[in-house]
Amino acid sequence: MNTENHTQLAAFIWSVADLLRGDFKQSQYGRIILPFTLLRRLECVLEPTRANVLSAAQEHQSKPDPVRDKLLLRAADQPFFNASPLTLGTLSDTQTGDDLMSYVQSFSRDAREIFEHLEFEGFIQQLSANNLLYQVVQRFAAIDLSPQQLSNYGMGLVFEELIRKFAESSNETAGEHFTPRDIVHLTTSLVLTGQEDRLQPHRIITVYDPTAGTGGFLSESDEYIQQVSQGVTVSLHGQELNPESYAICKADMLIKGQAVEQIKLGNTLSDDQLAGERFDIMLSNPPFGVEWKKVQKAITDEHTQKGFDGRFGPGLPRVSDGSLLFLMHLVSKMRPRQEGGSRIGIILNGSPLFTGGAGSGESEIRRYLLQHDLVEAIIGLPTDMFYNTGIATYVWILSNHKPAERRGKVQLINATGRASKMRKSLGSKRQYVADGDINEIVRLYGAFGEAEESRIFPVEAFGYRRITVERPLRLNFQASPERIQRLLEEKPIQKLDGTTRLGIQAACERLDAERVYTNRDAFLKDLKAALKALDLKLGAPVMKAILGALSERDPEGSICTDNQGNPEPDTSLRDNENVPLGESVFDYFEREVKPHVPDAWIDEGKRDPLDGEIGIVGFEIPFNRHFYTFTPPRPLEEIDADLKACTDRIKRMIEALSA
C-alpha cells in the first residue's frame, strides 16, 4: 500500500468524526478515534489464533494469573492476548458500553494499560450517554486492519496521519507527538550507514529514543535493520512524557511483536527510567527551545552533586532551552568503545550550535563533545520540515567509535537546498526530503570528502580562547563648582555628618576651580594638602568618592597607576578578543590588537579553569558561515530603473483614482 492509500485509509477512519460532530468538541475526536483504531488493529492481529486462546482460557481458568497469562500468550503467538469471546462486531446493541469494557479488560496487562493511558473508559461512557457508542463500534468493526491488508509499517503511517489530524483538530503541536517520516528515514539511514559489522546475523542490536513520541524512530530503525540484514534481533527501548503518545508507541510495539517492557512513561530528564542502561543506536527529536524550569532542581542537583558521574557533568544550558540536556543524556548512555561503542542521531535547532559564549554551559557542552571527539557530522536541513515549526534544523551524528579517517574531524553537510515542495502543507510542514535526496545526503556523508555541500574540519577549528583586553585608565581632575556639586550628591559623602561634609566642600573650593589636572598624583597631592589644612582625615571609601566625582575620562590624561606602578584598567574600555584555538594569544594580540591600540594589554589573570592557560576556552559551530557564498549586489542603474518603474505605476494609479 503506498503513502496515498495510507492517507486515504486514515481519512476514512477519521470520517468517524462525522458521527461525533455536535456531541463532542473537535479537540476530542482524536481521543476517541485513536483508541478505537488501536483496538481494531489488535483485534485483527489476534484473529488467526483467537480460537486457540479461547480454548486455552477455558482449559486454564483455575490456574494462578501469572501462569495462565504465560499459557495464553503462547496460545496467541503474540506478545499480547485477549481472552474474551467478544469482538467489536459481536458487541450487544443494548449494553454496548458494559460489553466493550469487559472486552478491553480481557486484554493482557500491557495492552490493557494502553487503553487506561488513553482514558478510554471515560470516552466510552460519554459515547454511550450520547447514544453513539454502538454506531462507532459498528463503523470500526467494518474496517479491515488485518496484517494481510496493512503491514506494520503501513499501520505506522496510518497512525501518524491520525495523530496529525488529532493534533490539528485539537490545535496542539503535532511536532510534540512525532517526527515526519522523511526526517526519521534520513536520520536513521545516517546513523546506520557503515554499520555492517554491527548488523551481523545472531546479533542483538539495542535501539533507544528518550523522546519516543509515538515510536516513529523506533519503528523506522527496526524496519531499516530488518531490510539490510538477516537474523539480527532488534531490541527497542524508549521513554515518553505524553501518556497518549506513550500509549500509541506501546501499541505500535505490541502490534509488531516487540517486547514492550522497555517502553517507559515519564520525564526522561528528571526521572530516567532506564538509568544505567547502555545502547548501540540512539535516535531522538527532542522538543525545540522548550524550557526545563519544572525539572531545574533535579537536573541542577545531579550536575552539582554527581558531576561527570552523572549525565550533566560538562555544564548546563540556559533554562529556556533543554535540547542539549537530551544530547548529554544520550552521551551518558553510550557503550564503552571497547564494547563496540554507540552511535547517536539527534535533531536539534540552530541554538545548540552557537548559543552561549566562552565559559557558558552551552559552550562547555560543545567543548566536551568536540574535545572527546564524539561529533562525526552535522547536517543542515531545509526549513519548513516539521509540523509545528518552520525554523532551521540540524541532524547531529555522534559516535564514540569513529573510523580512523574521521578521528579528530567533523563533517558539515549543507542539505538546506535538498527540499521538495509538498502538494499540500501539513501544519508548518511545507517541504519534505525526497528519497533521492536522502540517498544523496547519505552518500555525501559516507564519502567523507570535500564537496560543494560537504566540508571537513579539524575539531580545533571550532574552538577559541576569549582573552580580556585592557586599556589604561586616563582621567582629568578639576574642582569646578559643577563637579563639587556632583561630589556632594555621592552616597558616601551624604552619609557623613554635616561638619565633615562642609569641610570637604571647603577643602575642594580651596583648589583652583579653573585648573584641569591631567595627572592623578599631582591632583591628589594638592587635594590632600587642602584637606590637611582643614585637619580632615578621611577613609578610603570617601577618598574614592571624591576622586570619582571630581574626575572625568580624558584620552589626553596621564595613565593612572596602582601602588606597584602598574597601569590601572579602564573598565569602560575593556574588550574581548576570540583567538583561534592553537594560536599563541600573544602573537594574535601583537598582530590584531596592538597596531590599533598600542597602550592595550592582555589580562593574564583571566585563565581557563580546565587547562589553566590564558583566556577562557569557547567552542561554537558557525555552520552557515562555512557555506556562505557572496552574491554581489545588483548594479545601481538596475535598482534605479526598478524604483522609477514602481513610482511611475503608483503615479498612474493615483491619477486614475483622482480622474
CATH of the domain at 26: 1.20.1260
Contact 176, 23 (CB under 8 A): no
In a domain, 370, yes or no: no
Name residues whose C-beta falls within 8 Å of residue 210's C-beta, 6 or more positions apart in sequence: 238, 239, 268, 282, 284, 286, 326, 329, 330
Structural domains in the chain (count): 2
Contact 107, 42 (CB under 8 A): yes
Contact 417, 452 (CB under 8 A): no
pLDDT of residue 152: 76
The count of C-alpha atoms lying within 13 angstroms of the C-alpha of 175, restricted to the half-sphere facing its C-beta, is: 21
What the block records as the C-alpha cell of 351 is 541554538
Residue whose C-alpha cell reads 585592557 in the numeric block? 470
pLDDT of residue 174: 42
> Given 496, 530, 553, which residue is the final one in a domain?
553
Reduced to 3 states, what is the DSSP secondary structure of residue 45? helix
| Structure letter (DSSP) for residue 472 | B
Which amino acid belongs to residue 368? Y
Residue whose C-alpha cell reads 494462578 in the numeric block? 64
Angle between helices 181-192 and 435-447 (to 10 degrees): 20
Q: Identify any residues that bridge with 552 across adjacent strands, giving them in sequence order.
A: 476
The count of C-alpha atoms lying within 13 angstroms of the C-alpha of 185, restricted to the half-sphere facing its C-beta, is: 15
**Domain interval for residue 519:** 475-553
By the 10 Å C-beta count (0-12 exposed, 13-18 middle, 19+ buried), 656 is classed as: exposed
- The length of the chain, given as a count of residues: 659
> Given 116, 140, 169, which residue is the final one in a domain?
169
Which amino acid belongs to residue 523? F
What's the helix, strand, coil split of the chain in %, to 5? 45, 15, 35
**Average pLDDT per 10 consecutive residues for the chain, totaling 659 residues:** 73 89 85 91 92 91 88 89 93 92 92 90 93 93 91 77 72 56 90 87 92 87 85 92 87 77 92 94 90 93 95 95 95 94 95 93 96 96 79 94 95 91 76 90 95 95 96 95 93 91 93 94 94 91 94 94 91 95 94 95 95 95 85 86 92 85
> Given 528, 553, 578, which residue is the final one in a domain?
553
Q: Identify any residues that bridge with 240 across adjacent strands, giving them in sequence order.
A: 265
Q: Which of 141, 163, 164, 25 is nearest to 86 (CA)?
A: 141
In a domain, 5, yes or no: yes
Phi, psi of 462 (to 5 degrees): -95, 0
Which amino acid belongs to residue 56? A
In a domain, 466, yes or no: no
Phi, psi of 604 (to 5 degrees): -75, -5
Number of helices and strands in the chain (H, E): 25, 17
Distance separating alpha carbons of residues 579 and 574, to the nearest angstrom: 16
Please state, in angstroms and as integers, the Cα–Cα distance from residue 261 to each residue in 147, 251, 265, following that order.
23, 12, 11
In a domain, 397, yes or no: no
What the block records as the C-alpha cell of 52 is 486457540
In a domain, 625, yes or no: no
In a domain, 647, yes or no: no
Residue whose C-alpha cell reads 589626553 in the numeric block? 556
In a domain, 617, yes or no: no
Alpha carbon 659 to its chain's center: 59
In a domain, 1, yes or no: yes
Q: Pairing relation of β-strands 475-477 and 551-553?
A: antiparallel
DSSP string, 58-82: HHTTTS-HHHHHHHHHHHHTSS--B
DSSP string, 271-313: --TTTT--BSEEEE-PPTT---GGGHHHHHHHHHHHGGGSS--
pTM (predicted TM-score): 0.83
